[in-house]
Amino acid sequence: MLRPIMFVGTASDVGKSIITAGFCRIFKQDGYRPAPFKAQNMSLNSYVTPEGLEIGRAQAVQAEAAGIACHVDMNPVLLKPTTDQASQVVLNGRPIGTQSAYEYFRENDRQELFAAATQAFDRLAGHYSPVVLEGAGSISELNLKRRDITNLRMARHAGAATYLIADIDRGGVFGSVYGSLALLEPAEKACIKGIIINKFRGDARLFADGRQQLEALTGVPVVGVLPYFHDIFVEEEDSVALAQKRRAASAPGRVRVAVVLLGRLSNFTDFDALSRDPRADLFFTRDAAELTQADVIILPGSKNTIADLRLLQTSGLATAITQAHQAGKTVVGICGGYQMLGRSVEDPEGVEGAVPAAAGLGLLPVRTVLAGEKTTRQRRFAFRDAATAECQGYEIHMGRTTIEGPPRPVATLDDGTPDGYFAGPHCWGTYLHGILDNPAVVEALLAPHTRQAAPAPVHFTEFKDQQYDRLAALIRANVDLPQIYAALRP
């Protein structure tokens, strides 16, 4: 048995999620039975557990790295932003309502959520060792710390050996590390067993003096310096990563696939497998002129479908999409994007906000009524006319879509239920997230726009498994694992 380990940060996007995934794989390789845990996640990337409960996608990825099925106890509190001021709160896998930031951070709410988080951790710790915890944002937000349920308050409850991660690529690593630790109370600092410097460019030996200076300043050992890397693929946690994806198409001879960059875009991991197909040049954009350059336009999921639909209409993107469709380009909608391609989206119960309805793009003969009950299920399905349900995906949506006219499903689920609407190879919509992880679907999407022969199918699950091994090897080569194991032994 090993005591829990926790990775916290000097800021957001310093690499906590990826390093947590890497250590989940390391502990699995070394014969332990690890499991990830993050008390509270804020992300529009989510996933569905086998039981049909919703958690942050990052914990599903980390569970995959650990070689176990994801479970709701790995992420008991999930916040899904619906506007700049409010988020849907998902507790133990089920939505419990939408709250403003002010409402959410009221002390009574946080105490109840912390109790739920500690109970989830305790259940997880009863079955796995070690539990690999991930913090959120910065550990030294003084105005929020007394209401914290995710960082050092959770580390103390878990008795976790805690490691502080700092991103040297963004600059100011000495100030961020020293300041983060200097602002901790003695009991909090006692949790910190080491510092990991992440995203170092160049020869790490050049930072030898820096390691010694940081250790002298803080009294905490620097246990590793991880290099900046581009060649290991691990799914990103949230929309911070989208900044790197906002690029226009550039590669000649490839199928130009534009994903519309919605304001509340959710589950952008839907496109990770497609981005690795050598025939595709995938890019994210909210520029109408760039959409006209695309061969395929995909409307992705959204956490606020009506608001994003109205933005499409006022920005000229809706016109660009419909004109592209008329010109023979392929237009596809996934989840909220499927709803937008219909004739209307209605919200009589105010699920998303005060706007009761919005006209859709009218490319599919469907109408959607939003409702408070959320559908969350893993699915096996047969794509189009396939005889067997050999494909996999999952549903996360709050709405019921009705078809005007005879059904023309994109997929038939394993229980016989039809999904989506197939207007033809150049226009269709589906509720299935992860549909593009299936080679048969990608082939149907790209084949009309290329003369290249389809490459040998890539088993995306096997590919990801190889990437976790590569990530683990990178960490082993650059982190003092004996020191970490010594800190974890009772």
Does the bond joining 76 to the residue before it have cis omega, within 30 degrees of 0? no
- Sequence-separated (6 or more) residues with CB below 8 Å from residue 166: 9, 10, 14, 173, 176, 177, 180, 195, 196, 197, 198
Distance CA 193, CA 212 (A): 16
Of 71, 397, 433, 449, the catalytic one is 433
Is beta strand 161-167 parallel, antiparallel or unpaired with respect to 192-200?
Answer: parallel
Instruction: Report which of 274, 209, 258 is spatially closest to residue 441, judged by C-alpha positions.
Output: 274
Instruction: Report which of 480, 490, 461 is spatially closest to residue 26, judged by C-alpha positions.
Output: 480
Cα 370 to Cα 352, 405, 410, 422: the distances in Å are 8, 20, 21, 21
Distance CA 485, CA 120 (A): 25
State the sign of the Cα–Cα–Cα–Cα dihedral 376, 124, 65, 204: positive
Distance CA 154, CA 110 (A): 13
Instruction: Report which of 56, 393, 399 is spatially closest to residue 236, judged by C-alpha positions.
Output: 56
Q: Rg of the chain's alpha carbons, rounded to an integer?
A: 23
Instruction: Report which of 53, 28, 37 is spatially closest to residue 124, judged by C-alpha positions.
Output: 37
* 314, 278 contact by CB (below 8 A): no
Distance CA 306, CA 38 (A): 30
Distance CA 163, CA 186 (A): 16
* 212, 42 contact by CB (below 8 A): no
Distance CA 105, CA 147 (A): 7
Distance CA 320, CA 287 (A): 9
* Alpha-helical runs (H) found in 327-387: 336-340
* Alpha-helical runs (H) found in 316-385: 317-326, 336-340
Can 433 be counted among the known catalytic residues?
yes
Can 71 be counted among the known catalytic residues?
no
Of 24, 335, 391, 427, the catalytic one is 335
Hey, which residues does 382 pair with through a beta bridge?
Answer: 412
Q: Which residue has the tokens 């990830």?
A: 36
Q: What tokens were used for 10?
A: 């000097």
Q: Please list the active-site residues.
A: 335, 433
